[in-house]
């Protein structure tokens, strides 16, 4: 048995031990949502957004088509002599965006876990546009963590919109981890320079279309220089990608010829969004077009050898509120509802399936709710927010009540109130049943995302020779980092367990 296998009766035991759980919405909140929120949405928000979007479509149809956007390339030339061999570089890891909400949390994890002294085993630096703000971050973290030596951590001043500043960021570090989003707006040049200088790269993007564009443009360069480009290294999308790959591994631990045929995830979260997350959502909804990928290529469906993976991947989108069959009696009744990120989560799981040339796979994902009132309120809240962002008037009004970029939940709320538990159950191609649980006892969207990002970067910086993926190029977290990342996550605070259901049943019967 591996250290992550479990045969306990209740796979949810770690969650229940912490005493963190979702409470049903009150009758008052449900009534306000149904009697006030729904009418406002139907009579104000939805009509405004419908009229705006239809008008925009008509104007776009009758106006001359703008020239298609071109792929961004700074034209910066890198010679072989410009590239420092990775083992000889000064820094193991540089955090770009350390003055932002999640970037500061990533720097906090590095300082708290790996230290800041000259003899620390991890050599790191922080980077951003403003030296003064970077110094403020160091002072703030030094005071909070009582680590005065943190003030001596190196700072790199870089502006991603100014190509001449980027060699200073990527040339002398093994890996850059970045939180600077929206990534289609601020991330393309960072990928370009990491690929050109042979520097490993991780980010926390959820922008799958942008990642496909970056793959199309820089895959060959990264393969040539040995740079591993690993996007999606936060809550978007590590838990689902890693869990799926471990369900496959558990099946193949017993039978190498059995693959995963279907997987379903039930997500239980207690967290609130940051301003940066909401800004990215608005950018996506505005429909700002990326340059086209010619030839109908689907980079996220390519195998590790570069060919198209033909085995089917299907995603069942859930809009109703189905009953959920969870293995813990304490968590019933349970009802599912639509999770807005399930579409992109499925695309990353599909990418890993393609990279490993896996069997046809069906995917389903829902959010856990303790009752149907809660499921309705949560679903309606998502629908209301998305609809409000689709016209400039209500989008502007929402900006007055939602957090701005750089703002997010308090540290107290992230540690004491927030958590995330993702339960997965899979069926193999020969009918075997497996299940998994990944559990974060703190805020998964920000505090734990900062940790996941750092541990992803350190997997590349410190354990490159132990990774199952070889050479440079673009990789999903599960395929590119795999068990090395999972072990680092578990060592620094994540709970993960996986088991065959048959083993669990036989254990019960033997008592």
User: What is the rounded average pLDDT of the residues 62-89?
Assistant: 87
Residue 506, pLDDT score:
36
> How many Cβ atoms are within 10 Å of 271's Cβ, its own excluded?
22
Report the percent of the chain where pLDDT is more than 90.
69
Report the percent of the chain where pLDDT is more than 70.
92
Residue 9, pLDDT score:
58
User: What is the rounded average pLDDT of the residues 494-510?
Assistant: 66
Cα end-to-end distance, the chain, whole Å: 20
pLDDT surpassing 60 at residue 502: yes
pLDDT surpassing 80 at residue 165: yes
Under 8 Å between Cβ of 420 and 266: no
Q: How confident is the model at residue 401 (pLDDT cuts 50, 70, 90)?
A: confident
> How many Cβ atoms are within 10 Å of 30's Cβ, its own excluded?
17
User: In DSSP terms, which residues pair with 177 in a beta bridge?
Assistant: 95, 202
Q: What is the DSSP letter of 151?
A: G
If you average pLDDT over every residue of the chain, what do you get?
Answer: 89
For 365-395, the pLDDT digits (tens) are: 999 999 999 999 999 998 999 999 999 999 9
Return the higher-pLDDT residue of 125 and 276: 125
pLDDT surpassing 80 at residue 480: yes
38/11 Cα distance (integer angstroms): 38
Under 8 Å between Cβ of 11 and 498: no
Residue 469, pLDDT score:
87
What's the distance, CA 506 to chain centroid? 36
Under 8 Å between Cβ of 412 and 443: no
pLDDT surpassing 80 at residue 295: no
Q: How confident is the model at residue 1 (pLDDT cuts 50, 70, 90)?
A: very low
Give the 3-state secondary structure of residue 469: coil
For 318-354, the pLDDT digits (tens) are: 877 888 877 764 556 788 998 888 999 999 999 999 9
pLDDT surpassing 80 at residue 186: yes
Residue 19, pLDDT score:
77
Q: How confident is the model at residue 407 (pLDDT cuts 50, 70, 90)?
A: confident
Under 8 Å between Cβ of 269 and 168: no
Residue 510, pLDDT score:
32
For 15-68, the pLDDT digits (tens) are: 777 777 888 999 999 999 999 999 999 999 999 999 999 998 899 888 887 777
User: What is the rounded average pLDDT of the residues 488-506?
Assistant: 82
User: What is the rounded average pLDDT of the residues 446-467?
Assistant: 96
318/342 Cα distance (integer angstroms): 10
For 122-156, the pLDDT digits (tens) are: 999 999 999 999 999 999 999 999 999 999 999 99
């Amino acid at each position: 048995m591996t250290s992550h296998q479990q045969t306990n009766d209740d796979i949810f035991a770690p969650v229940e031990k912490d005493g963190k759980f979702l409470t049903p919405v009150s009758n008052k909140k449900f009534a306000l949502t149904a009697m006030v929120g729904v009418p406002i949405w139907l009579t104000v928000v939805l009509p405004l957004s419908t009229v705006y979007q239809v008008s925009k479509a008509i104007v776009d149809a009758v106006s001359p088509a703008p020239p298609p956007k071109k792929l961004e390339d700074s034209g910066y030339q890198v010679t072989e002599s410009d590239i420092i061999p990775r083992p000889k570089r000064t820094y193991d890891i540089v955090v770009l965006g350390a003055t932002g909400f999640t970037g500061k949390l990533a720097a906090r994890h590095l300082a708290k876990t790996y230290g800041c002294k000259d003899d620390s085993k991890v050599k790191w630096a922080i980077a951003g546009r403003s030296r003064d703000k970077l110094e403020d971050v160091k002072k703030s973290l030094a005071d909070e963590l009582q680590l005065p030596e943190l003030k001596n951590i190196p700072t790199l001043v870089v502006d991603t919109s100014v190509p001449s500043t980027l060699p200073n960021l990527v040339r002398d570090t093994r890996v850059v981890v970045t939180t600077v989003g929206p990534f289609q707006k601020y991330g393309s040049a960072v990928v370009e320079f990491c690929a050109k200088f042979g520097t490993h790269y991780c980010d926390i993007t959820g922008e799958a279309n942008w990642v496909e564009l970056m793959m199309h443009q820089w895959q060959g360069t990264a393969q040539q220089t040995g740079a591993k480009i690993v996007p999606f290294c936060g809550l978007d999308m590590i838990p689902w990608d890693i869990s799926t790959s471990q369900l496959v591994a558990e099946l193949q631990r017993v039978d190498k010829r059995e693959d995963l045929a279907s997987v379903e995830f039930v997500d239980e979260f207690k967290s609130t969004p940051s301003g940066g997350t909401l800004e990215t959502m608005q950018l996506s909804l505005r429909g700002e077009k990326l340059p086209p990928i010619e030839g109908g290529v689907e980079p996220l469906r390519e195998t590790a050898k570069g060919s198209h993976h033909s085995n089917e991947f299907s995603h069942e989108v859930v809009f109703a509120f189905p009953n959920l069959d969870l293995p813990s009696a304490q968590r019933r009744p349970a009802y599912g509802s639509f999770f807005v990120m399930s579409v992109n989560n499925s695309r990353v799981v599909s990418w890993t399936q393609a990279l490993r040339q896996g069997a046809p796979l069906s995917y389903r994902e829902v959010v856990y709710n303790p009752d149907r009132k809660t499921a309705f309120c949560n679903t309606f809240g998502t629908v209301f927010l998305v609809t409000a962002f689709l016209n400039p008037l209500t989008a502007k009004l929402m900006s007055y009540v939602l957090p701005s970029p750089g703002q997010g939940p308090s540290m107290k709320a992230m540690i004491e109130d927030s958590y995330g538990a993702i339960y997965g159950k899979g069926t193999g191609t020969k009918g075997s049943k497996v299940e998994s649980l990944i559990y974060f006892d703190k805020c998964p969207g920000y505090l734990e995302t900062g940790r996941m990002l750092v541990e992803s970067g350190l997997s590349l910086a410190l354990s490159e020779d132990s990774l199952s993926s070889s050479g440079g190029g673009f990789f999903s977290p599960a395929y590119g980092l795999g068990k090395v990342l999972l072990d680092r996550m578990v060592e620094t605070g994540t709970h993960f367990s996986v088991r065959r259901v048959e083993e669990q049943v036989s254990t019960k019967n033997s008592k």
